[in-house]
A = this chain, B = another copy of it.
Amino acid sequence: MNVMNASPRRKELTRLAAQLFVQEGFDRTTVRMLAQEMGIKSGSLFHHFRDKQEILAAVIEEGTENALVIAREALDRCDSSASARLHAMARAHLETLLTDRNAHVVALYEWRRLDPEARAHLSHLRDAYEALWEEVIDEALAEGLVHGDRFLVSRFVMGALNWTVRWYDPKGPRTPTSWPMSWSP
């Protein structure tokens, strides 16, 4: 088995899996569906991944790693005012949400399907990303750019940004989706 490496083949399979997981949801996506989409037989899948769970973990890991890279680059590139850094961070966030849309939607909707070990590992990645956000928000608070409770501000900002995956459709203004364009509670 290829379990631990990051072969190009595995990367591609992961990308395809992400797409299917978004379309059908993790539980509804069978290993046979995944295999067919990948052009192989279902048994062959387990040459690349230990089990179905590992495919899910690979999808989320990939997405979160890319988010970290993009955010760091954006922060390096912009000037050091709190406003510019906040702007850069928000923009990087939305950029990631779009380019790795599938992976992030999966992370959002299927996180609970991860087993404890995978969850622990991916939590570290996530925490690293959140640390960037908290840093930037602290600066914004210190400069008086925004006001309010540090905790609440960051939750609300992240909420508003992340929620975009539910209603923003890059394919066009009003393509029918399988979830409601918006949601009322």
Q: Which residues of A contact B (CB under 8 A)?
A: 25, 27-28, 63-64, 67, 93, 96-97, 104, 107-109, 111-113, 123, 126, 129-130, 133, 154-164, 166-167, 178-180, 182-185
Contacts and interface: CB of A to CB of B under 8 A. Distances in A.
19 contacts: A25-B112, A25-B113, A27-B27, A27-B28, A63-B185, A104-B185, A107-B185, A108-B183, A111-B179, A111-B183, A123-B180, A126-B184, A129-B184, A155-B164, A155-B167, A159-B162, A159-B166, A162-B183, A162-B185
B167 A163 contact: no
A184 B104 CA distance: 9
B123 A185 contact: no
A133 B184 contact: yes
